[in-house]
Amino acid sequence: MPVARMVLGPWGRRFAVVGAFLLAAMAVVPTGADPVPSTGGGHGIVRGPARESSGEGRPGPGNGRGWGRPVASDHFTGRTLDREAWEVYDGPGHGGNGRRSPSAVTVRHGVLTITGRRDGTTGGIAWRRGARRYGRWEARIRMSRGCACYHPVLLLWPVQGGGGVSPRGGGGEIDYAETIDDGRRRHTAFYLHYGPEDGDRRLDARIGADLTRWHVFAVEWTPRGISGFMDGRRFFHTTDPAVQPSGPMGQTLQLDWFPHDRRDTARTVDPSAPATLQADWIRMYGL
């Protein structure tokens, strides 16, 4: 979760270099969820064993659920990442571990790649156009097998979230694809954090898939509820008004380093090899 960061643009990233910049107006500090015990319950939430999917990134909900035209999108077609559209993290890593470096973020042949190294050098990006209250977001992603210490994540973080371990003043967090596993990349999860800053609670749902292949993950956030999708199939849903984020949220892609999780790496996975999170495209829709 974020602690301090530097703001470059209308909203930024977790773990900055200079804490004073946390006071910048409309700054988003994205984060990835730490694994915490499930709070149970969850009005309308989908629960149970991991659900398997063999899809190869079929068209997402935006193409099959009447979401219309995106209000913003990026297909990463340039030779480098569009710095007008994206803020690239440059500073200490998660919890002060490792470092987020612009050199870890590359674009080639229409694919964005974030690479995490053995020493904890990794990366993340925040979408300057990807912040709003209510909407739909989707991205076509895949990831490599790698050290369990690397957690790939797509998430939404409050625009006014500040730089704490939890959003300043509460406000919630939506991790609509966060992979916390043994490095074989066989399942991911949707984590919806809510509640006060000092009393974070969570709803969650897990889904199984070969995440080394392309899949489309999406989240729909409306005044009536929050839903998570993989390849057009809904695997998370809640209509509980108590878990609704209180304001605008911003989109990020991150490959977070949790060094203590290295011990959880499967024997068939090389924990020293670089880990990657790749994105083919990302889109945002209005309601």
**What is the overall mean pLDDT for the chain?**
80
Higher pLDDT, 212 or 95: 212
CB-neighbour burial class of residue 80 (10 A; exposed 0-12, middle 13-18, buried 19+): exposed
Which amino acid is it at 157?
W
- pLDDT band for position 96 (50/70/90)? confident
How far, in Å, CA of 236 to CA of 31, rounded? 20
Q: What is the mean pLDDT of residues 69-77?
A: 96
Give me the phi and psi of 262, to 5 degrees please: -55, -35
Provide the greatest CA pair distance for the chain: 47
- pLDDT band for position 273 (50/70/90)? very high
Angle at 226 between CA 239 and CA 257, to 5 degrees: 130
Domains annotated on the chain, with CATH? 19-32+43-285 (2.60.120.200)
Q: What is the mean pLDDT of residues 47-51?
A: 38
pLDDT at 75: 97
Query: Is the pLDDT at 91 greater than 60, yes or no?
Result: yes
pLDDT at 130: 81
- Category of 233 on φ-ψ map: left (φ > 0), alpha (ψ -120 to 50) or beta: beta
Nearest CA-CA partner of 172 in 200, 146, 150, 151: 200
- pLDDT band for position 81 (50/70/90)? very high
Query: Is the pLDDT at 257 greater than 70, yes or no?
Result: yes
pLDDT at 170: 60
pLDDT at 44: 37
